A and B are shown apart, each in its own frame.
Chain A
Amino acid sequence: MTQGVTHKTASRRLVIMTFVYNIGFAGLIVAIDKLLDPSRNDWPALQTWPLVLLVCAPLFLYAYEIVRYIRSVDEMLAVLQVRAGAIAGLVTLLAGAVAGVGEVLGVLPEINTAMALPVAAIAYSVAVAVQEARMR
């Protein structure tokens, strides 16, 4: 198997798993929000933490997929992924800061912090696409 084929297979798997884990994350958020007892906010902290960990599960699995992908591609493609991750992290922090300050100043509505995941995913995807296009 050539490196090109390996890269294509690994990329396809990452795209599919990105979709699966983001859907899983969104599904868990919706399930907790819509299906569980609305009085959950009164639960003792020890009972609600498992829910938080449950929501984090797709994120941990997604992080594992990214590490697995980076290990399966060559050094330049791995550098692109790491750089894209750094850009996505920065964009997510900036978006969080803008949303937080806007909320404090009353110019933005309260935004669910769970929105950080799609922001990070989109920023990461765009950063990877732009860099791969430049290197093509």
Chain B
Amino acid sequence: MNNRLKDLRGDKGWSQQALADHLGVSRQTVNALETGKYDPSLPLAFKIGRLFGLKIEEIFDDGE
């Protein structure tokens, strides 16, 4: 699944660790999300959406 997480994080000027701290996950998880190696659970996806003030579908794209 593609996502805009890296761009959104860049816009805020945050490091991966800073974003991880905001989301309450590890830096490895943020890296895996950004590189598309891991798809988040719904609760985490909602958390990411709330953090950036966007809807889930505005951040994640399943290519359909």
Chain A residues with a Cβ under 8 A of chain B = 2-4, 7, 73-77, 79, 132, 134-136
Contacts and interface: CB of A to CB of B under 8 A. Distances in A.
B28 A135 contact: yes
B31 A135 contact: yes
Given A4-B27, A132-B28, A76 B38 contact: yes
Interface band, chain B = 10 to 19
Interface of B: 17, 20-21, 24-29, 31-33, 37-38, 40-41, 44
A80 to B, nearest CB: 9
Contacts of A132: 28
Contacts of B20: 2-4
A4 B31 contact: no
A136 B16 CA distance: 12
B38 A135 contact: yes
A126 B31 CA distance: 21
Contacts of B32: 76, 135
Given A74-B29, A76-B32, A136-B31, A2 B21 contact: yes
A136 B28 contact: yes
Given A2-B17, A3-B20, A4-B20, A73 B26 contact: yes
A74 B37 contact: no
A82 to B, nearest CB: 13
14 contacts: A3-B20, A3-B25, A4-B26, A7-B26, A73-B26, A74-B25, A75-B41, A75-B44, A76-B26, A76-B28, A76-B29, A77-B26, A135-B29, A136-B31
Given A75-B40, A76-B26, 10 more contacts: A3-B26, A4-B20, A7-B26, A73-B26, A74-B24, A74-B25, A75-B29, A132-B28, A135-B31, A135-B32
